[in-house]
Each structure stands twice: as structure tokens, then as C-alpha cells.
Structure 1
Amino acid sequence: MFYYFPDNYMWSSAFNLALMAGGSLGEMNRWLSPLREGEPDGEAWGKAWAGMAEQQEAQAAEDLATGLRRSAGLRYLRASVYHASGERQIPPGPEKSASYRASLDAFEKAIELAPLNVERIEVDSPDGVLPGYLIPARTAEPAPVVIFYGGFDVTKEILYGFVEEEFVRRGISCLVMDSPGVGEPLRLRGVPSRPDYEVPTGAVIDYLETRADVDASRIGVMGISLGGYYAPRSAAFEPRIKACAAWGGIWDWGATWEKRWATRSKTVSVPWFQLPWVMGTDTMEAGLERVRQWTLVDVLPKLTQPLLIVHGENDRQVAVEDAHKAFEAAGSADKTLRIFTVAEGGAEHCQTDEPDPARQLIADWFGRRFGTLPERG
């Protein structure tokens, strides 16, 4: 992995994730280089990312004043990534809330000005309204759709940056979602995650079935990082899902967290506050107890749809052995395990070190399962 911050996995991982979502290396280096020396300073981290985002917003306003709408929109898009990247490391409180709302505001301006091929949608669910962005396929006929879930700390705005129009180019719509324990539900309404993710997924599918531009017979689900639990769990109990991809294999996430906490692992993506916050508990101990429910050990044998698991050989957040266990346990007749190696690149967690081959692989896989790409040639 590219360690922009020497010996600091968490911050370097965040740096790579921002690049993966569309950040600019030069802009990021200009604001973050002073943080590379000395002890990590959380306050300096937040100020650097906020300054980076605010500079782009100021330059976007200048572009807009001269009629350069698309240039302004793309600056706002990067500003949204920068606000979100800083926010991920900030504990719950006023600073985090302000940073998150700034990310939302910048993304909305990017939609309007760039403009982005995006429609904000809202789904009624047992957990309240779940917001998302539909990236619609440019087809005259109803198109297949893939629901895309984040994981432990990635919002729908970042998910958009991960895929943009790769599914659209293959004749597939993509719905990037904020769901329980993620994004707006967690940050604005305090809705924690839940182990039975087929419940919110069922509500999302109910919504999709109302749309004339969606082919409800070809609905897929994918998830990145902890989304590698959410997506397979949903598919195992929701027969309306026809294909499933885990961008990061999860086996027993509770066991993973027990090991992390026992060793005080330095290869985590965000500070320790994240677990009790996402779990909806007051203490780390209660969070560790609750997260034991996040296991696919008894779930994957029930999954029978086509399944793709993508993992990195050198994943230091979730062991590669977990991806192998998940693959072996899955009940799918059509299942594929793709391990990216150190030699070829993409060996880190969710291929943040070299993401494009994985992104293309996943979109192609869905294209073939849904008949929008030929099987060969």
C-alpha cells in the first residue's frame, strides 16, 4: 500500500480511499504534506481536509461567476470527497456534523452544475427514510439495477465516486445507498446498523419495483468492505435479488473485531469510536458484544444466487482466509472468488491501492449475469 503518511496505516488508507473516490493527488498533497512529519494530530487532520474542500468551493464560485458551470460542478464534487474524507476520522460531535453536511451540500451542487447523471431517491423502510442516488442506465427499455452498499464508514457520496458510470456503460443502473448504520440515517437520525440487512434491502426492492425504468427481474446487490456482509446477507434471505457481489469477503466480522480490539490493531480504517457508534451502543464492550451477530457462517449456505467475492491477498483489515471460507461455504452453483495479488496490484483492502481492475471486473461480472454484455468476445 502507498503509505503517504509514514507508518500510519489509518491515515494512509484514508488518503488512498479519497484518491479512489476521485480526489486529486496534487490538491491533497498541497494540504496534507505538513501532516506527514511528527505525531498524528486529529485537529490538524480535520482542518487540512476542510481547507482543501473550502479552497475548491471558493474556486468553484469563481468558475460559476464566469459561466463555467461544469468546471464548478467538478470542483464541488471533489470538495464533497474532501469533506467526507476528513469527517470519517472525526468523532461524533458538532465538527463532524458540520463536515458531513458540507459534504452533502457540495455533492448537491455537483449534481446540479456538472451535471451528474444522478437522481436522489428516498425509500420508506422500518428504519425510516433511506436516501440514495440512482445512476440510471441510458436505455430506452427498463434496465437491470445493482444496489450498492457501503460498509463501516463509507457514505453514498463516496460510493458514487467509486463507480460513477461504469455500470451505466454496461447498460445497468446503479443505486448507491445510505442504509442503517451509514451516512444520513446514522449521522442525521442516529439509526445504527442491524444484522438482518434483508429488511432494508426488501424495502429498497419494493421501491425499485415501482419504477417503470427498472427491470425488477434483474436486481443485483453489491457491497464494499463491511458491505461484503450486507450484500450476501441480503441475497441469502431476499429471493428477488438475482446476483450478488462482495467487494471484500466477510466471514465472521465479530471475530475480526475481537481480534482487532485484543491486539489494539494499527491496521484499522477509522478510530475506535466507530464500532459503538455504528452498533448503537454506549461502550466498546457493548459494541463488541453486539457485533457478534454480524456473521455469515450460517448464512452463506442459504445463498444460491450467482456470487462474486473480490479480495486482496494483502488485506490487513480482513484476512484473506475469510474470503476463502466465505467462498467455500456459499451455496451458489455459480460462484467466483477473485484474489488480487501483491504482484499484480490491488492486494490491499478492497483494492484501494489499485482499484480500477476490481471496479471493471465487478461491473463486467454483473453485465454478463444480466445479459447486457456477451458471455465471450
Structure 2
Amino acid sequence: MEYAAWPQVRGDLSSARRAAAAFLDNLTFEDRSGAADRQNWVARWTGIGDEHGVLGDRNIRSGALHEAIEAWLCALTAFEVARRLVDEDDQQSADASARLEAGIQRFELSLEQKVERVQIECCDQTEFLAYYLPAGSPDLCAPAVICISGEQESGTTLLGRLLPVVFGRGISLLVISHDDISNCSRSPSDIVLSCCLDYLSARSDVDGTRIGVYGEGFSAVLATDFAASDRRVAAAVCDGGLWNWTRILASVSWITKAADVVDEGLASVRRSQLIRRLRCPVLVVAGGRGIVSVSEAIKLQADCMAATIGIELVIPRMIRTPEGEVENFVTSDDCIFRWLEQQLARK
């Protein structure tokens, strides 16, 4: 990839995200120099993020608030690209995560896009902290999305990735970590998430009839269970019950000692039964770093179409390299939140 392909640091968010998506789509590693390429690209995207951060700081000092916010969001996108290119146990990964946290803290300088740390109280008297990002003015009654991080991802990391995605969409976010949900051992996850929905519904700047849920990675299972148990959920990005269905298949195969024991007709009926538990529009993220296989998701969608059940699929673009797969998170996140924006629009 030629140096001329690197994005110019101008603080324009849409251009920065297009450049990041194009870079990820064209990402390749040569067999011999893959490690060196990876290190160089991590350093370059970290540098791009740092330059955007400096530009944002300069804009805030000159009173250009909107331009400062856009530059900081560009920085967060660049740092996330860098984070995706390194292994989790690499020191550069820790550096990228630290820069993400610093980028979020910059928002404390902004009265327009202030990120709050809020306390969620559960029914079992336990409590935990979450991030809340308002859609805009306190007088605005906006839709909101409960976002649950993946099992090996912090709420801070997820927030840093999503801030550039929701900018300008008029959607509030409540970002919580998978660990916080799991640590409330005395209450099932769906009860804990209902407490999160209670918190949002009580806010004057949130429309309680337009609250969705988005589960990242294994948290997609939690999102499914929550949407099935709480009819107030207006839209769900989840696994559509496929994780539980896979467990059922595995149990049957283990008991019978046969690999193909389930009749496909019965399987179709069972998949449809699972998805019928959800009373809201559903988007299933299949493949990539998620837990849902593309083949099972396609079967689920076909079953739902036959049963006139509304369901949509997103299949993130994965770039295969000699050292593993890298997801084009830019395009998949944009697709997910475009869908949520449409589903949660006032009708």
C-alpha cells in the first residue's frame, strides 16, 4: 500500500472514516514482511490519531467547538484501526487503548457532547457504572441504545469505537461492559438489562418507547434474551437465538453420538420458534469476530422469510492475512447504527 494512500489530517469525520474503511478493505500482508508491515501501519495510524488529537485541541482553544469534536472523533477512529492491527497481548495494543481513553476524556471539554459516568442500580441491590452519551440537548426526547461490550472488551473500548459512529445520528447511548453484567450474579442478565432500560426510561432526554439493544460478540446472546423477556425493547442487534440453537444441536449430537441427527424440517421449525420470542425488529451480525456462523444465519433468515418474520443480516467484511483476520469495523458499525437509526425513528 503506497504512502500516498494515507489520509490527510483535516478533521473531517466522514472523510477520515472513508479512508479508514478503504485502508482496511485493501489490507494485505506479504508473507515475509507481514510483521514489519503491521508494525509500520500501527505506528502510522497511531500517528494519524495523535495528529487529529492535536488539531482538535487547537480548535477548542480557538473556540471552534464543532471542528474540535470532529477532529477528536477522527482520532478515535484512527486509534481503533491501530488497535485492530495488533495482538491483544502486544504493548502497542495497550498504547492504543490508552489513547482511546484519553480521546474520550477530551469530550469532557465539550458542553455539546459530554460523556457521563452514571450509576445503574440493579434489583438485587448491586450497582455498577456505565457510560451515558446524550444525543444532544437535554430538552430533546431522543431514542437510545443499550450497548454491551464483548466478553473480552471493556465498556471504554466499545465507547471509543462507537462515538464516531453515532455522531449526528440523534441517538443516545448507554454503554456497559459484559463483565459488569456477568458480575451481577444474583440477577439474570435480562433483569440487569431491564434495570438499564428503567434508567433510560426515567431520563427526560430519552424516549422510553424507542430504546434498542446492541450486543457485541457473546453479548449478542444477552441481547437476545433481554429482547425476548422485555417487550419494551424496540429493536435488537443480537444473535437471534442461534447460540442456544447451536447448543441444542451439540447436545443432541452428543447424546445420540450422531453428527446429522436433526431433520432439517424440524430444525427450521425450531429456529422459527426461537426467533418468535422476540417482539421487535431484529438484526443479526453473522461471521467475523461474532459468535453466529454465516450459514446458520442465512438458514435463520430463510426460515423467518417463510414464516413472515422480519429479520435482517449484517455480515462484516473480514480481511484474511497470514497473521489472522482483521474486521472492517468501520463499514459494519455504520451499517448497524444506520439500521438502528431507521428502526428507532419516530413513526
TM interval, short-chain normalised: 0.5 to 0.7
Residue 101 of structure 2 corresponds to which residue in structure 1? 104
Deviations 1:76-104 (A, max 9, x none): 22212222332343424765444323212
| Counterpart Cα distance in 2 of 1:47 and 1:248 | 35
Matching residue of 2:147? 148
How far apart, CA to CA, are the structure 1 residues paired with 2:77 and 2:246?
31
- Structure 1 residue 305 corresponds to structure 2 residue 267: no
Which residue of 2 is the match for residue 219 of structure 1? 211
Give the one of 215, 219, 243 matched to 1:252.
Answer: 243
Deviations 1:173-208 (A, max 9, x none): 432413224xxx69xxx9799x95324313312322
Deviations 1:46-87 (A, max 9, x none): 433322222222333444454444333322222122223323
Work out the percentage of aligned pairs sharing the same amino acid. Answer: 17
Q: 1:144-183, aligned counterparts within 5 Å?
A: 144-151=143-150, 153=153, 155-166=158-169, 168=170, 173-181=171-179
Q: Does 1:231 align with 2:223?
A: yes
Q: Is the 8 A contact 1:196 1:234 kept in 2?
A: no
Q: 2:237 & 2:243 partners in 1: Cα distance?
A: 14
Higher radius of gyration, 1 or 2? 2
Counterparts in 2 of 1:76-95, with a 5 A limit?
A: 76-88=72-84, 89-92=86-89, 95=92
Alignment of 1:194-205 (within 5 A): 197-205=189-197
With the length of structure 2 as denominator, give the TM-score of the two structures. 0.62
Structure 1 length-normalised TM: 0.58
Deviations 1:318-371 (A, max 9, x none): 4333324555888xx984122469xxxx7778985576565433322232xxxx
Is 2:74 aligned against 1:40? no
Relative to structure 1, is the Cα distance of residues 159 and 47 closer, same or farther in structure 2, using a 3 angstrom cutoff?
same
Q: SS at the partner of 1:124?
A: strand
In structure 2, what is the Cα distance between the partners aligned to 1:39 and 1:122? 43
**Structure 1 pair 28/218, CA: closer, same or farther in 2 (3 Å)?**
closer
Counterpart code for 1:251 = L
Count of matched residue positions in the alignment of Structure 1 and Structure 2: 293
The one of 44, 57, 70 equivalent to 2:66 is 70
Unpaired runs of 5+ residues, structure 2, are 3-11, 248-269, 319-326
Query: What is the deviation of 1:44?
Result: 4.2
Within 2, Cα distance between the matches of 1:134 and 1:149?
A: 14
Within-5 A mapping of 1:50-69: 50-69=46-65
Residue 343 of structure 2 corresponds to 365
Cα distance in 1 between the residues matched to 2:212 and 2:20: 36
Report Cα offsets for 1:115-159 as digits up to 9, x if no partner: 644442423356752322333365857554332334465602212
Question: Mean Cα displacement is larger for which, 135-144 or 68-77?
Answer: 135-144
For 1:241, the equivalent position in structure 2 comes to 232
Quick one: which of 323, 338, 362 aligns to 2:297?
323
Which deviates more from structure 2 when the two are superposed, residues 141-150 or residues 69-78?
141-150
